[in-house]
Amino acid sequence: MTAMRRWLAVVCLVPLLVPDDAAAAVPGATDWARFKTLYILDSGRVVDTGNGGISHSEGQGYGMILALAFDDRAAFARLWDWTRVNLQVRDDPLLAWRWDPVGGRVDDVNNASDGDLLAAWALGVAGRRWNDAAYLAEARRLAEAIRSHLIIRHAGYTLLLPGIHGFVHEERVTVNPSYWVFTAIQFLSRFDPNLVWDDLMRGGLALLVEGRFTRHRLPPDWLALEPGRPPVPSPIKDPVFGYNALRVPLYLLWAGIRHVAGNDVLAYWASSGSRPPPVVTDLASGAVRERYAMGGIAAIQALGRCATGEPVGPGAFALGEDDPYYPSALRLLSLIAARRYRPDCLW
């Protein structure tokens, strides 16, 4: 498919883009208070309770976005202060992706571009909302670093490298489709005016059209691209639709985008009927490896129903009793996405 045909295939699926302010007040203040109690330390460190208690740039970014959504300036300040001191330790403004509580330090200094996008977006919104010059300056530094180091043109696409190191192998580039946080890219395209952000938006949407596999047309966690060849699941990663790619419909709908990839994922989960939805699916065989009644999936499904105009109520996004950090974060992110995209569904 030519670049023009890819763009035409995508543009007809994008009926709505959302306004600049990423953080309108939303229902769920009680759940936000509980989230802070369960997963955010007084220091501002977000604890991934399902992953050995580590912290990572993605979690810090999610926490900052949620603090904005609930207009919690004190929590935002603690979250960014911990992130700045403990993760912004590279030679560039990008964030080291992983902090290990065992050693009390970063144990992998490589960055993760979704965490960088989330932090830049959050800082830009916070700087504008609270008239904070320091936040605005940090947002610009991060945006410029993402643009300079992580956005490349390859195999006919504008791509977001998942990190500076480890994803370019001669002619093959590996990307993670779920790292395209489309609402963050929308914001940065206005905050840091440069056509590359619009190109990145188009590149991600085109990949989600062409990079779907099995009869259910599922996006992979990791996708490989080489010039002159169609996208394929990365041969150096596990070829699955899994814990990364399940965020694809969330990020699309959060940005007000109805897209075939998001629709396919929602339809796949719905096909499970009374069984727990598939969380990990082998893209080579189509076999379900793991099912899990994860509350985050239920919340993304509720967001999908919101997109069709079905009222679901804020209770559809309430935190569960036993969910660890990641499903709980997905619940609250789905809530603020619903409030932003279809507030009428929260009756």
Enzyme catalytic residues: 58, 114
Strand order in the sheet with 278-282: 240-241, 278-282, 288-291
Secondary structure class of 32 (helix, strand, coil): helix
Spatial neighbors of 217 by CB under 8 A, at least 6 apart, are 260, 261, 264
60/45 Cα distance (integer angstroms) = 7
Asked if 20 and 187 touch (Cβ cutoff 8 Å), the reply is yes
Q: Are 106 and 96 in contact (CB under 8 A)?
A: yes
Considering only CA atoms, which of 104, 97, 116 is closest in space to residue 184? 116
Q: Which residue do the tokens 């099912």 mark?
A: 291
What whole-number distance in Å separates Cα of residue 136 and Cα of residue 130?
Answer: 10
- Measured CA to CA, the distance from residue 83 to residue 214 in angstroms comes to 39
**Could you say which DSSP state residue 21 is in?**
-
